[in-house]
Chain A
Amino acid sequence: MPKLIFLGRLEDVAGTSELAVAKGPLEQILATLDPTLAVQLLGEKVRMALNGMLITDMGGIALGEGDELAFLPPVSGG
């Protein structure tokens, strides 16, 4: 099953750091989530990475077996 990964504050919103989801188009997957979470995931400052690579456009993205889609809110290190 594909996985969604929630980093930083998104982990608190989701209540978990990762979530196994059904295969399929991303739009369809997001539609099954709690709307509060979905809105946060689609926030302007949230970036996405598919299997460790940043993606700039979620249009046309479908998740297959073993895929990992990470939602990355603004970073703060050091």
Chain B
Amino acid sequence: MRSCRLSVAADMADVRLAESALDPVAEIAAFNAKHSTSGGIVTFLGQVREGGGIEALELKHYGPMTLPGMTELARITQSRWPLEGLLIVHRSGVMVPGDPIVLVAAAARHRRDAFAAADFAMDHLKSESWFWKREKTAEGWSWIEPREQDHDDLARWR
């Protein structure tokens, strides 16, 4: 199914909010092809974990702020590392175990910049972007609050 996506082109960064299924294999292939001169590409895929009684996961976003915030995050990421390309795709909506949630890819001349940029973008997507997450188990839906670890992860960049 063709997914309906909102997108913003922010000077070489490709930042999208995906409201239906995200295809990481196709996304990564397209990104790699577009950055064939980059020596290092780091990709990170976050997916809905299997087990723990989780039947579904829902991510909600807020139209006026979520994509603009992701675009700003991409801009900051690009200003901190010399990247040749950056891709951020984040799901919104209901997902089931095994479904991709977020994909980040960073292309750089050298691998360390690509690793650091992808790591930085992920830490900020987890705990500083405008998403709200809830899980469904046999007992029903419950909201997930950020973990202490997420804030510690973020503090590493300050």
Contact = CB atoms under 8 A, between A and B. Distances in A.
Interface residues of A, number: 18
A77 B102 contact: yes
Interface of A: 5, 7-9, 11-12, 49, 51-52, 68, 70, 72-78
Given A49-B64, A52-B65, A52-B68, A75 B144 contact: no
A77 B143 CA distance: 12
Contacts of A75: 127-132, 146
Q: Interface of chain A, helix or strand or loop or mixed?
A: loop
A68 B64 contact: yes
Closest 10 CB pairs of A and B: A52-B64, A8-B132, A77-B131, A78-B126, A9-B143, A76-B133, A77-B129, A78-B125, A78-B102, A78-B46
Nearest to A5: B62
Given A9-B143, A77-B125, A78-B46, A70 B131 contact: no
Given A75-B127, A77-B127, A8 B143 contact: yes
Interface string B55-89: 00001101011001000000000000000000000
